């Protein structure tokens, strides 16, 4: 049908599309030789493309070629030619008109031959072309167009002027290094820099960025976060977008926060953390580099939103990455990469091609996968990992980074001017230094400086100065300078420390009474915490604490916040009587399912109609290759339902292919619901 025909067209390369266009113009049953002539090529040149069209069931026949009907009828203006009309002259009459006009308008006819069929004009030239029958007025009497038969005569019977059978190769200067290994070292530095930027997400707990009404991160918050992290805007955006696609950050409708997956991610090694980040980028459907640019409606695209999603971008990104792997040793120019991508995806608009090519170079470099227009060693491993299942791909990339990175440095050099030098890549236990200092320089060594402002900032974030001094004493090759010790301890004393925790009920009594209560078996559910000999707190509510105290043989007294006994008659706040249903409204996310289907699912759940667990049902669908409705919970509590075919289930991740597309996606299992 038309849908499958459209999908078939989207899978074609430029030369294959040109063959389809030519077949749509030629008479049905044209020979391979006629087809080759129509695209200005030899039969041997088009053989491979024609074979693929036959394999895709777009074309059938051997000596007589037939284009499937949906494409023949659907391609109304192939190769810029006008749609045929009953008023068009015959092919012979068209050739005669062209011959008569060629003597007086040779340059004009050459220009019209390979341009679009629609033309405009109202002067002498337009009148001459109308009189010669080269152009005709449209039915409304306004615009002009070149009849298809006339334009084919202008093109001497050809549909395409050239035929590019081979994909253009990336072009650019040869790679060179003044210092051997410097490119690899720089890519490793960028990989660990991406991890440093990812670590700034911890700050979302104390100072979370907001959420736009339409979803996404406000541009002002993104600029503020990037500036605070000391990173270029698009580099920071790439890291944050990749973290979002990996499920490491989410929002509650009001603010962005780390997720439960973030907690698990932080426990992994640095190499594995980077591997997950890189794979989330490569297999994602979003572009970070377009953030802030206007969409078709003129609205600025916000990060971490559907506005940066681009259908097919993962396939096109993978195509470019694989192409770069086949052309090592070249720093490919952006223009040559865009030309190669346009050849592979001819139906994608040129502006989209340029945008995605530029985004690939910016985002890939931010993660250490690209250096200019060339893959790094880490990038080569990423291309191989694209075809592997998630666990094996993670392991491949982590091993690659571990093999290329120098051993982490466990020592620091302290100076009396309050600077600290890490002579290499800092080990995990040295990373807290970044919370207490400002970065002076990066490179082969990391130079940091303690200042009053940075120390106060760290203390304000809840860091402990004594723990830092212990770390410095354990890792410094020289004694900790007195100036640094004084700075840390003086600021800690000046700053003060207030410990804040949550408690529901406060118990006060003589020391001996609380001692008895704390050891009583009946009081174990209270989980009492002693703040002082005569004060204890619990998370249990006051009523439960009263019951437990009585069961322990005590005679407790309920008192208010002012210490006075609570009266026997309590004040109540509930409203009695039946509830008027017309007055009850609930604000929440829109229901993504039709009401009838939602009711059916609720009743089925109440009746216990589903015996299999979610995992069992997914594994069953994988074994059968069955298409099922997948509900995916978004960060606002809504559910997006997709028809998809589950492919694999590993490491808490489900990989599936969306029905009707070639696009695959990966989602965390705990975000999946089944109908």
Q: How far is CA 40 from CA 16, 18, 159, 163, in A?
A: 14, 10, 8, 6
Secondary structure letter of residue 389 according to DSSP: -
Residue 542: predicted pLDDT? 86
- The string of pLDDT tens digits covering residues 553-563 is 898 988 887 77
Share of the chain above pLDDT 90, in %: 54
Tell me phi and psi for residue 607, to 5 degrees.
-85, 0
pLDDT value of position 591: 46
Which of 640, 645, 628, 650 shows the shortest CA–CA distance to 671?
640
Give the integer Cα–Cα distance in Å for 157 and 154: 8
Give the dihedral of Cα atoms 190, 196, 198, 202; nearest 10 deg: 180
| Mean pLDDT score, 602-614 | 58
CA dihedral of residues 205, 210, 216, 219 (deg, nearest 10): -110
Task: Answer yes or no: are the C-beta atoms of 33 and 22 closer than 8 Å.
Answer: no
> What's the confidence (pLDDT) of residue 515?
92
What is the predicted pLDDT for the residue at 442? Answer: 77
Q: Tens digit of pLDDT for each residue in 564-591?
A: 887 654 444 444 444 444 444 444 444 4
Predicted confidence band of residue 227 (pLDDT cuts 50, 70, 90): very high
Which pair of tokens denotes residue 449?
């400086």
Report the b/e string of 557-583 with b at 16+ CB within 10 A.
eeeeeeeeeeeeeeeeeeeeeeeeeee
Query: Which phi and psi (to 5°) does residue 266 adopt?
Result: -65, -20
If you average pLDDT over residues 532-550, what whole number do you get?
90
**C-beta contacts of 83-88 below 8 A and 24+ residues apart:** 83/148, 84/148, 84/149, 85/147, 87/136, 87/147, 88/147, 88/148, 88/149, 88/150
> Quick check: helix, strand or coil at residue 294?
strand
Q: Is the pLDDT of residue 281 over 80?
A: yes
CA dihedral angle for residue 145, residue 149, residue 153, residue 155, rounded to 10 degrees: 70
651 by Cβ neighbours in 10 Å (0-12 / 13-18 / 19+) ranks as: exposed
User: How would residue 596 be classed by pLDDT, with cut points 50, 70 and 90?
Assistant: low
- The pLDDT of residue 579: 40
DSSP code per residue over 114-177:
TS-SEE---SHHHHHHHHHTSSEE-TTSSSEE--HHHHHHHTTT-S-S----SPPPP--PBP--
In whole angstroms, what is the distance from residue 101 CA to residue 119 CA? Answer: 17
Q: Write down the pLDDT at residue 344.
A: 95
The CA angle 648-651-657, to the nearest 5 degrees, is: 30
Cβ–Cβ under 8 Å, residues 402 and 394? no
Lowest mean pLDDT: which of 256-260, 428-432, 545-549, 657-661?
657-661
Instruction: Pull the structure tokens for residue 358.
Output: 């530029």
Contact 332, 171 (CB under 8 A): yes
Query: What is the per-residue DSSP string for 222-263?
Result: HHHHHHHHT--HHHHHHHHHHHHHTTSEEE-SSBEEE-HHHH
Q: Does 360 have pLDDT greater than 80?
A: yes
Distance CA 484, CA 622 (A): 60
SS3 at position 377 = helix
| pLDDT one-digit tens code per residue, 653-675 | 788 888 877 677 888 777 788 76
Instruction: Write down the pLDDT at residue 502.
Output: 78
Q: How far apart are CA 392 and CA 390, in angstroms?
A: 6
The residue among 55, 51, 49, 40 whose CA lies nearest residue 17 is 49
The share of the chain scoring above pLDDT 70, in percent, equals 90
C-beta neighbour count of 379 within 10 angstroms: 23
| Six token digits for residue 340 | 């190669």
| Length of the chain (residues) | 675
Q: Which two tokens stand for residue 585?
A: 């409204």
Q: Please name the residue ranges forming H helices in 388-539.
A: 390-404, 433-436, 452-460, 465-475, 482-495, 511-519
141 CB-side CA count, 13 A: 0
Q: Which tokens sit at 655?
A: 């990989």
Which CATH architecture best describes the domain 2-72? Orthogonal Bundle (1.10)
Tell me how far the alpha carbon of residue 551 is from its chain's centroid.
57
Please provide the distance, in angstroms rounded to a whole number, between the alpha carbons at the two ends of the chain. 29
Handedness of CA 257, 649, 638, 295 (dihedral sign): positive
Q: Which residue has the tokens 């006629």?
A: 34
- Reported as a pLDDT band with limits 50, 70 and 90, residue 178 is confident
Instruction: Please tell me the class of the 595-674 domain.
Output: mainly beta
User: What is the tens place of the pLDDT at every residue in 126-170?
Assistant: 888 988 999 998 866 668 899 999 999 999 999 999 999 999 999
610 in helix, strand or coil?
coil
HSE toward the beta carbon, residue 81, CA cutoff 13 A: 27
> What pLDDT, on the 0 to 100 scale, is given for residue 594?
57
- Report the range of poorest mean pLDDT among 197-211, 361-375, 630-644: 630-644
With tokens 């008027």, the residue in question is 580
- Taking the C-alpha atoms of residue 596 and residue 673, their distance in angstroms, rounded to an integer, is 17
- Average pLDDT of span 346-369: 96
Look at residue 496 and tell me whether its pLDDT is greater than 70.
no
Select from 265, 21, 45, 260 the least CA-distant residue to 166.
45
Average pLDDT over residues 436-451: 87
Give the H/E segment covering residue 556.
none
pLDDT of residue 176: 87
From the list 215, 222, 282, the residue with the least C-alpha distance to 246 is 282
* CA angle at 205 for the pair 204 and 209, rounded to the nearest 5°: 35
Contact criterion met (CB below 8 Å) for 385 and 397: yes
CA 647 to chain centroid, in Å, comes to 20
């Amino acid at each position: 049908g038309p849908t499958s025909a459209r999908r078939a067209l989207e899978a074609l390369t430029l030369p294959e599309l040109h063959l389809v266009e030519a077949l749509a113009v030629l008479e049905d049953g044209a020979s391979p030789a006629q087809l080759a002539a129509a695209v200005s090529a030899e039969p041997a040149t088009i053989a491979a493309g024609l074979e693929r069209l036959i394999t895709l069931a777009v074309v059938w026949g051997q000596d007589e070629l037939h284009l499937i009907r949906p494409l023949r009828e659907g391609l109304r203006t192939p190769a810029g030619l006008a749609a045929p009309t009953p008023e068009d002259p015959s092919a012979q009459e068209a050739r005669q008109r062209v011959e008569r006009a060629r003597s007086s308008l040779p340059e004009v006819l050459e220009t019209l031959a390979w341009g679009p069929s629609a033309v405009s004009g109202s002067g002498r030239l337009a009148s001459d072309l109308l009189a010669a029958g080269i152009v005709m007025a449209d039915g409304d009497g306004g615009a002009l167009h070149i009849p298809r038969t006339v334009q084919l005569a202008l093109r001497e019977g050809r549909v395409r002027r050239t035929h590019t059978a081979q994909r253009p190769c990336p072009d650019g200067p040869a790679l060179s290094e003044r210092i051997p290994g410097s490119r690899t070292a720089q890519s490793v530095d960028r990989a660990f820099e991406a991890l440093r930027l990812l670590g700034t997400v911890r700050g979302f707990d104390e100072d979370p960025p907001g959420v736009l009404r339409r979803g996404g991160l406000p541009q002002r918050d993104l600029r503020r976060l990037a500036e605070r992290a000391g990173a270029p805007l698009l580099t920071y955006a790439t890291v944050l977008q990749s973290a979002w696609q990996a499920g490491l950050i989410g929002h509650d409708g009001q603010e962005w926060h780390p997720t439960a997956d973030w907690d698990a991610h932080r426990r992994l090694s640095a190499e594995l953390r980077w591997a997950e980040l890189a794979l989330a980028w490569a297999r994602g459907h979003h572009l970070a580099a377009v953030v802030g640019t206007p969409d078709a409606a003129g609205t600025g695209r916000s990060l971490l939103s559907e506005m940066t999603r681009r259908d097919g971008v993962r396939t096109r990104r993978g195509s470019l990455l694989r192409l770069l792997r086949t052309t090592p040793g070249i720093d490919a120019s952006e223009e040559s990469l865009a030309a190669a991508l346009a050849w592979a995806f001819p139906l994608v608009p040129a502006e989209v091609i340029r945008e995605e090519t530029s985004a690939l170079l910016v985002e890939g470099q931010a993660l250490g996968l690209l250096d200019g227009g060339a893959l790094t060693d880490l990038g080569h491993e990423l291309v191989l990992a694209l075809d592997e299942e998630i666990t094996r791909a993670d392991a491949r990339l982590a091993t690659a980074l571990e093999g290329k990175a120098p051993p982490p440095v466990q020592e620091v050099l302290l100076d009396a001017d309050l600077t600290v030098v890490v002579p290499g890549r800092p080990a995990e236990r040295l990373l807290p230094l970044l919370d207490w200092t400002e970065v002076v320089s990066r490179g082969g060594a990391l130079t940091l400086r303690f200042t009053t402002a940075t120390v106060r900032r760290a203390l304000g974030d809840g860091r402990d100065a004594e723990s830092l001094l212990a770390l410095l004493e354990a890792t410094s090759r020289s004694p900790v300078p007195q100036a640094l010790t004084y700075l840390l301890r003086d600021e800690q004393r000046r700053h003060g420390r207030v410990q804040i925790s949550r408690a529901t009920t406060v118990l006060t009594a003589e020391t001996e009474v609380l001692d008895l209560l704390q050891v009583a078996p009946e009081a174990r559910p209270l989980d009492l915490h002693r703040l002082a000999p005569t004060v204890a707190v619990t998370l249990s509510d006051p009523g439960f604490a009263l019951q437990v105290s009585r069961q322990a043989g005590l005679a407790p007294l309920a008192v208010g916040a002012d210490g006075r006994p609570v009266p026997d008659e309590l004040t109540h706040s509930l409203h009695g009587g039946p509830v008027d249903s017309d007055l009850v409204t609930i604000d929440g996310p829109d229901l993504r399912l039709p009401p009838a289907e939602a009711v059916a699912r609720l009743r089925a759940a109440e009746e216990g109609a589903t015996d299999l667990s979610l995992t069992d049902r997914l594994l069953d669908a994988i074994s059968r290759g069955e298409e099922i409705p997948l509900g995916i919970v978004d960060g606002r509590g809504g559910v997006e339902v997709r028809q998809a075919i589950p492919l694999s289930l590993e490491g808490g991740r489900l990989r599936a292919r969306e029905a009707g597309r070639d696009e695959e996606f990966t989602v965390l299992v705990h975000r999946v619901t089944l109908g």
